[in-house]
Amino acid sequence: MDTFLALITAHLLADFLFQNRRMVESKRRIPVLLLHSAIVIVTSIVLLGEVHMPIIISIGVTHFLIDFLKTRSKRDDIWPFLIDQGAHIGILIFLSIIYPYTFNFGFWPGKLSHDLRWFQAAMVLVSGLMLIAPFGGILIGKLVQPLRDEIESEPHGPIQGLRNGGMYIGWLERLLTLLLVMINLPAGIGFLLASKSILRLGEIKNGDQRKTAEYIMIGTFLSFGWALLVSLLVQVSLLFWFPV
């Protein structure tokens, strides 16, 4: 469990924090792929606290190959994203099963001793934040993209708004959902959901914009649903290291 936590946190950080938009757009180039794979390796070594060569080589090679195959795909919908992430996570699960005690014999248990569980809790929270915000944004964006394409084909044209405004709104609502779950105030999620629904539906002024209204509601429910799921997983994971 500890080994998998370290590896999955490293993966999420490397893929969704340390990989910027320019790198994503240039990943068809081999040097960029190699750089990204190197970042994955370094992040894994740091959080694992161990230069475990079988794990490090396996992660570096498989991450490069999986991303290489994804960049050669002509599709950019939800399925390549899910297959790509599923393959990465599947490799990490497999390595954690084969080498389950790698983290326990690494740097961090010896250095932190009795404070180790705080480091583990921090990794749980970091993983949760990555899943809630950037990962969730990409996931939901790809899920609703067919609906957005249908709306933008209508005579009234594309949905207008601030540049990246929708992305930041989604991040904030999901992060607030996580916060409310962590402080045991889940009732506040209903207030957030109602507030956003009122504000966003207030943008719909004409009866012929039903598609846009439905698109907004579907995106909203997906966003809050994903946030609740991840928040509950984070809460359960924290209870594993901090039992009541």
Would you state the pLDDT for residue 196? 66
Alpha-carbon span 72 to 27, nearest angstrom: 10
Type of residue found at 140: I
Domain parsing of the chain, residue ranges: 2-105, 128-241
**Alpha-carbon gap, residue 51 to 23, rounded angstroms:** 26
pLDDT for 52: 94
**Do the Cβ atoms of 13 and 48 come closer than 8 Å?**
no
Q: pLDDT at position 167, please? A: 77
Answer for the pair 36, 27: CB distance below 8 angstroms, yes or no: yes
pLDDT at residue 59, rounded to an integer: 97
pTM of the entire predicted model = 0.88
Q: What is the mean pLDDT of each run of 10 residues along the chain (244 residues)?
A: 95 94 87 95 96 96 94 86 96 96 90 86 94 93 86 64 71 84 80 68 58 77 89 90 71
Residue found by looking up tokens 């946190």 in the block: 9
The predicted pLDDT at position 160 comes to: 61
Would you state the pLDDT for residue 15?
95
SS3 content of the chain, % helix, strand, coil (to 5): 80, 0, 20
